Structure 1
Amino acid sequence: MQSHARVVVIGGGNMGAGVLYHLAHMGWTDCVLIEKAELTSGATWHAAGLVSRMVGGQALGAIHDYGVDLYKQIEAETDVGVSWHNCGSLRVATSPEHMDWINHIRDAVLARGQEAHIIDAAEVARLNPLYDVKAAGVLGAIYTPDDGHVDPSGTCQAMANGARQLGAKVIRNCRVTETRQLPSGEWEVVTDQGTITAEHVVNAGGYHARQVGALAGLDLPITTMQHHYVVTDAVPEFADMGHEIPVTRDDYFCGYIRREQGSALIGLYDKQDPQAVWLDGCPWDSENELFEPNWDGITPWLENCFERMPALMNRGIKRVVNGGITYTPDGAMMLGPAPGLRNYWLACGATVGIAWGPGSGRALAQWMIDGSADISTRAFDPRRFGVWADEDYAKARATEDYTLRQAMPYPQHQRDTCRGIKKSGAHDHTTTLGATFEEAGGWERPRLYAPEPLGWRRTSAFDQVAAECKAVRQHVGLADLSAFAKFRITGSGAKDWLNAICANRIPRVGRTCLTLLLNRKGTIEGEATIARTGPNSFYFVTGAPSERRVWDWLTLHCNVPMADVTLINETNDIGILGLAGPQARKVLEACTTDDVSNDELRWMACRHLTIAGVPILALRLSFSGELAYELHAPNNQLGTLWDILWNAGQSQGIAPFGTKALDSLRLEKFYRGGHELANDASHKDVAQERFALLDKDFIGKDAMLAREPHSKIALLALEGEDTDALMGEAVFKDGTRVGSVTSAAYGYSVGHSLAIAFLADEARSAGTKLQISILGKQITATVLPDAPWDPGNERLRT
């Protein structure tokens, strides 16, 4: 065994092979993949091999699209067969809500420039003659013709062989027993055949990823769930069709069906009794392992499948595969840097590794080599989970996610298990007022103050959010904004250190700034509000889901020496209340003897206050576009602070407001959010050049200046009633796709729907008429020249 390598990839499934292949293709050929048995011997070999473009979202959709594209051509490159079957895919709809869902998926597929069609029941019957569209009550279906299925073992072997051809190595039947980081930052990877010293380690351990991570001190929230598919006896009807049926998905039988040679392969998610396995760890000698079928669990779904496709009813079942699939708590893979470690990367927790392996391998290779991927990786970043994502949490959430695999992913849906991990000190108060909560980085965050029904169109929540917005615009609103990460940064070197990290200039004492943090690729690594509370004292606030990621960037990955700098994480100790609206100052004045006049506490200023003995850091900031204050206080005293403000605000028409209202208010101000400020964008892409101070040096400056964006941000006003976008929709100009929507909300103060979109240059001029595909309709939209609400910021400064 060689003694050194640039990268050691642990795990020889489709995810590990995908990373190795793309590292080699990007020039890092001194890489070694170590597999404890044979390639594909974990979950890869028994996968159903489905590969589809039929998925929402830009980032995950791009991963799926890339997988389809690679599998079409990799045989020619590597001489390894992958058995690409270009049969297409269907998902049927049997209710109006189903139709809304598949139309939304179609909108997202079109936004990526791919082909998708909404077809009627007759066309479903033509494409899949086995499917009884009349009995099922099919209203329509989404059809993506460029989909298919592959031989899972072939895809893994092809990528491994492609990497070998470029000089990378694959070592089989070799188990990793230890991983140790050396003082140099390199990693010693100890195996039963010797030790390799590497610059980087990639954990693509599949079933064993949690155990492999534990060797480096990690506790990865990954659970293995059982999943069945059955293969029937030969289906004679297939021979007379003249084409292969598309992979057909139907949540009535909670699964999918495709042709497997002359038989039918039926995948089933037994969501009434999902089974987690190997909770104490997958045995190290596990290899090509399957579990006994759970017939009681799958039989009801199998019967539903036969009801939909009666021709299969009398076919025998010749094979049952009950294998493991790895799940994370939210169903997304873990792709990116491991929490708290330098040069240790994760490519694991994948539920559909055949579809994800190529695209995720490409994204991780870009991240490792260039400093960031070409797609937004926020949804996959392993550091989205905090230390609260322990073994019990991982199992409960993975089990719940398994039951949702074939369910409609309503935009309002929130998970039921493991709630209330982090609560603000005002949680009981907002609960009493009727808050519906959402999760953010483990926190419970008020979403709106009424029940929120599920649906793809406007629901009864529309009027409640309107009332919350009205209160903020006309009177005063009170919000629990505690779901943020809060760091205290001190020391004589703190200012210079922050200036080297942040694109904006660090403020003077008593002032705040908004800043982006760039990586060496020049794209956005993070965003923050920084308040300077003293000559050498700074308060740093970023989004709650970014807590671990930004902390790691500051302490491990930005590579700026921390001379005389101390960081303290105060996230759980501090809560935040937001007071916003024209009457906000009157409410605040009634609660404190400190001077909070406009002269003393100006826009973008900060100062310490006391309210009824509660110490507060007040930031004069606004995400609503109104006069507003963020009041940062000890979390254990936040309930007291809420009561005082609430009582003082009664005479001013105070009302609580949640994130749904805040989203509407911020779009009216054209404020960028997390969907825009991601690692696939820079200052130029999001039109935030004014926040990049070019008279100083900072990380990513040169790369940002050299970047030529393919698209830039714009704000659109939508015409018509009930025309709210949901995010991810395609935008067209005269029939040509020119962009996609990243954020959307109804603007209650301006009287029409709004959407933020990334658009090609030819579509960004103010007044340009565009069309947005929303739930099957083309909605006219106009590019706005500026924020439609208070573009001069007079209300903020009053």
Structure 2
Amino acid sequence: MSVSHARVVIIGGGVMGCGLAYHLAHEGWTDVVLLEKAELTSGSTWHAAGQITHSTSSFSLGKCVGYNIDLYSKVLEQETGQSVTWHGCGSLRLAYTDDELDWLRQTLSVGKALGFTMELVGPQRIRELHPFYNLEGVQAALYTPDDGHVDPSGATFALAQGARQFGAKIIRQCRATDIKREPNGEWRVFTEQGEIVCEHVVNAGGTYARQVGKWVGLDVPITSMTHHYLITDTVPEFMSLERELPVIRDDQLVSGYIRMEQKSGLIGIYEKANPNAVWIDECPWEAEHELFEPHYDRIMPWLENAMGRMPVLSQLGIKRAVHGAISHPPDGNPLIGPAPGLRNFWLNCGCQIGIGWGPGLTRELARWMVHGASDINMRDYDPRRFGRFADQGYQVTKAKEDYLLRHEVPFPHLNRHAGRPVKPSALYERLKSRGAVFEEVYGWERPRWFARDGVEQRDYYSFRRPAWFPLVQQEVNSVRECAGVIDISAFTKVQVSGPGAAKFIDRLIPNRLPSKPGRIALTHLLNENGRIELETTIVRLADDRFYFTCAAFFEQRLLDYLRFARTDHDDVTITNLSDAWGALALNGPRSREILAPNTSAALTNEAFPWLTAQEIEIAGEKVWAFRMSYAGEVGWEFHGPKESIPAVYDALHEIGDAMGLIDYGSFAMNVMRLEKMFKGAGELTNEVTLPEADVMRFVKTDKAEFRGKQATLAALEKGPSWICAYLQIESDGVSDGNGGEAVLMGDRQVGSVTSIAYSPSVGKILAFAYVSPDVASPGTKVDVTIMGEIRKAEVLGEPAFDPDNVRPRADAGADSQRKRVAANA
């Protein structure tokens, strides 16, 4: 091997590694070396079934899938001359139950936003498309005619050939053996044939990714799970067919898929019991084209169902059983993006459906590496969504859980309970005893809603209004009418201190730095392209001490952003307080009355103004109180050592219970922030600039510098190609949307929904959506597809609730006035 230096070294020659080499080359980075220890595809790629479908209710993944199908069916073979053996047979996803049918309706709404060809068809049409399937109990199917399947090896070889044509180098039979960081920040990759120094390393190791990560001190959260598909003897009924039958996805009875494989049948099963993990510590380096003996006992119930649903297969033998290992991250989503805490080290692994998802995701990773940002929202795939809490035991437990969920209905807010709790807050047991139903956020247990009024304390799932819907409405109404308290300990909490802290932070943020201790600023952190990395609140605790707080899943992203921005000249210390500190929020018109008896601090607007902070004592505990409210009410957040939070919580309830103080969760918080037109993580993504997100009021363009300033000014001058609009949508009282829905102007698709919820305060559905600028003006009438049905909507120019923002700034006198009004009512 003569190569001694490269811009990028990719470790792994499966579809993910070759896909990245291909897309890096197409983005202009041709000084790329891909290392494969054996032959291309010899890990997991070669034994993939190779199917791909437009049927996904994930908007970001749908963008990838649409690109992939176009690549396989129209581009790749023509560009490279390498056959990919595309079978454009279409597919049918069946619905037996009302919930499955609702899932298909939701998928149809998202597909409309993505421009996909799909339709909901009944049994008669299914029979016309596929005459051999037993349709007993089937209500309908989602028909996606442009779906198909591809030869996994052929597709990967074509990606590799495309990369070579642009100058990338692919070295087979060359195993990487170690990786070290050079003093100048470059990486040295050791191989069986020599060493390569490079700027970027990409771990595309597939089932080997964990041990590749260990070389740089990284615990890559993936587990290898084994999956079966079986190929039958030749099917006589297939011999005279003039067209290939569509792939059947039968999630209910088969827990998998059935399709033609030449003139045979192919049955793939994700059994819903006893999932099998292998190579938990390490995948043997000598494993090449590795398959395991089939475990028929494990899959037999679903195999029997498959034979019953497809009777033409029932009397045939099995001529080939493929039982291979596939990487599963804890939540089922691939690991695509920067490795936590490492500069220019990237993960491109953990993709359980590499053929179906890989090319689109690797295109986005290539754009991320080359241009500093991807063009779709990568939050669900960012490896930094896992922290130290995701240890090996967690990884295995959650991977097994994910395998079992592979063919379950992906309900909105599906809660994955295995292995929890991992990081309970200091209030966990108290909240649990009060009826909290929790969700996991970056390992933390955070309340979603509280069981009351005889509703059982458990999860309820539906694409329509579930059993918890009226309870969340009650939480919202109680906060609006009295007060509510919410555990926000899951928030990221990071301190930046030292003599150079103010100067360091000021050069990063587009908003003004809090001018003196006790001041608060909301701002955004940008990359050099002016795209949004995250939104954060900054509190100046002292002249040389600043406190950052933001959403829980941005913890590692914030730490990396700050640490990588710090130079040798910055006299600052960055301290992660996320685990050591807790936090609590009190919101509502009676918040001041509830807080006042518990503290000696003066709470009037004059003594404690809006958007200021003070260290105060509550119930004998010193905590920082921030006068701010994500609910849009009078309120405070209390932040401090986690040991202090329970006493504060208890004291608030001791006074507040008699007044009607209520515990509320993240579902109610989301409703209230939509009522107040507060954008969240779904709107503030790496896809958009500040002008496109319509948050330029938080930008001081006269600042001498901030990261991404030139790109922000250029975007402002150019004008947005899309813009975040605020919508009010008619409700049918049954279903309120789940995100990703299409926004229409007549027959033209003009945008898609990012966040959506029903508001009890205004009696309408409220949503944010990214839309074409020509329909973003307040008063514009549009339509939104919810569950496949058209709803009338209007663009609003101000918050639907308290548009003048009077309530959060109410002074102490307003409490007395409110009490007098209530007494005279």
TM-score by length of 2: 0.95
User: Which segment is superposed worse, 215-224 or 410-419?
Assistant: 410-419
Q: Is 1:538 aligned with 2:549?
A: no
The answer for the alignment partner of 2:14 in structure 1 is 13
Superposition RMSD in Å: 1.1
Q: Distance in 1 between matches of 2:261 and 2:466?
A: 43
Correspondence for 2:800 among 788, 792, 796: 788
Q: Distance in 2 between matches of 1:559 and 1:86?
A: 51
Structure 2 residue ranges without an equivalent (≥5): 452-456, 811-825
1:448 aligned partner, one-letter code:
W
Q: Distance in 1 between matches of 2:582 and 2:374?
A: 34
Q: Is 1:177 aligned with 2:185?
A: no
Q: Distance in 1 between matches of 2:203 and 2:449?
A: 40
Correspondence for 1:566 among 560, 566, 573: 573
Q: Distance in 1 between matches of 2:37 and 2:14?
A: 11
The answer for the alignment partner of 2:791 in structure 1 is 779
The answer for the alignment partner of 2:52 in structure 1 is 51
Contact 1:725 1:755 in 2 (8 A): no
Contact 1:32 1:171 in 2 (8 A): yes
The answer for the alignment partner of 1:592 in structure 2 is 599
Q: Distance in 2 between matches of 1:598 and 1:766?
A: 33
Contact 1:489 1:537 in 2 (8 A): yes
Deviation at 1:562, TM superposition (A): 5.7
Q: Distance in 1 between matches of 2:774 and 2:236?
A: 54
Contact 1:227 1:325 in 2 (8 A): yes
The answer for the alignment partner of 1:443 in structure 2 is 444
Contact 2:720 2:773 in 1 (8 A): no
The answer for the alignment partner of 1:492 in structure 2 is 499
Q: Distance in 1 between matches of 2:569 and 2:594?
A: 41
What's the % identity of the aligned pairs? 47
The answer for the alignment partner of 1:104 in structure 2 is 106
Correspondence for 1:755 among 746, 749, 767: 767
Q: Structure 1, residues 53-112: CA drift from partner, whole Å, max 9, x if none?
A: 211222111111111111121111111000011111110111111110011111111111
Deviation at 1:648, TM superposition (A): 1.3
Contact 1:724 1:754 in 2 (8 A): no
CA distance 1:560–1:750, change in 2 (3 Å): farther
Deviation at 1:633, TM superposition (A): 2.1
Contact 1:500 1:560 in 2 (8 A): no
Q: Distance in 2 between matches of 1:503 and 1:349?
A: 35
Correspondence for 2:481 among 438, 463, 474: 474
Q: Distance in 1 between matches of 2:763 and 2:112?
A: 28
Contact 1:90 1:141 in 2 (8 A): yes
Q: Is 1:716 aligned with 2:727?
A: yes
Map 1:485-564 → 2, pairs under 5 A: 485-509=492-516, 510-556=518-564, 558=565, 563-564=570-571
Contact 1:424 1:638 in 2 (8 A): no
1:736 aligned partner, one-letter code:
R
Deviation at 1:560, TM superposition (A): 5.7
The answer for the alignment partner of 2:87 in structure 1 is 85
Q: Distance in 2 between matches of 1:792 and 1:492?
A: 39
TM-score by length of 1: 0.98
Structure 1 residue ranges without an equivalent (≥5): none
Q: Is 1:457 aligned with 2:468?
A: no
Map 1:338-357 → 2, pairs under 5 A: 338-357=339-358
The answer for the alignment partner of 2:30 in structure 1 is 29
Q: Distance in 2 between matches of 1:296 and 1:115?
A: 39
After TM superposition, where is structure 1 displaced by more than 3 Å over at least 4 residues in a row?
558-562
2:249 aligns to what SS in structure 1? strand
The answer for the alignment partner of 2:816 in structure 1 is none
1:233 aligns to what SS in structure 2? strand
Deviation at 1:763, TM superposition (A): 1.8
Q: Distance in 2 between matches of 1:330 and 1:318?
A: 34
Q: Distance in 2 between matches of 1:194 and 1:100?
A: 56
Q: Is 1:727 aligned with 2:739?
A: yes
1:724 aligned partner, one-letter code:
D
1:208 aligned partner, one-letter code:
Y
Deviation at 1:298, TM superposition (A): 1.2
Contact 1:499 1:506 in 2 (8 A): yes
1:199 aligns to what SS in structure 2? strand
Q: Distance in 2 between matches of 1:526 and 1:96?
A: 38
Map 1:215-234 → 2, pairs under 5 A: 215-234=215-234
Query: Across the two proteins, how many residue pairs are aligned to each other?
Result: 795
1:784 aligned partner, one-letter code:
L
The answer for the alignment partner of 1:641 in structure 2 is 648
Map 1:206-605 → 2, pairs under 5 A: 206-251=206-251, 252-450=253-451, 451=457, 452-509=459-516, 510-556=518-564, 558=565, 563-605=570-612
Q: Distance in 1 between matches of 2:346 and 2:574?
A: 24
Q: Distance in 2 between matches of 1:545 and 1:34?
A: 32
2:637 aligned partner, one-letter code:
E
Q: Distance in 2 between matches of 1:577 and 1:486?
A: 13
Q: Structure 1, residues 266-314: CA drift from partner, whole Å, max 9, x if none?
A: 1001221110001121100110000000000111111101111111111
The answer for the alignment partner of 1:688 in structure 2 is 695
Q: Distance in 2 between matches of 1:46 and 1:426?
A: 48
Contact 1:205 1:348 in 2 (8 A): yes
Q: Distance in 1 between matches of 2:566 and 2:347?
A: 20
Contact 2:622 2:644 in 1 (8 A): no
Map 1:107-122 → 2, pairs under 5 A: 107-122=109-124
Q: Distance in 2 between matches of 1:284 and 1:250?
A: 36
Correspondence for 2:778 among 759, 766, 773: 766
Contact 2:623 2:644 in 1 (8 A): no
The answer for the alignment partner of 1:629 in structure 2 is 636
Deviation at 1:496, TM superposition (A): 1.2
2:598 aligns to what SS in structure 1? coil
2:234 aligns to what SS in structure 1? coil
Contact 2:493 2:547 in 1 (8 A): yes
Q: Distance in 2 between matches of 1:448 and 1:417?
A: 20
Q: Distance in 1 between matches of 2:336 and 2:171?
A: 23
Q: Distance in 2 between matches of 1:498 and 1:743?
A: 30
Contact 1:411 1:726 in 2 (8 A): yes
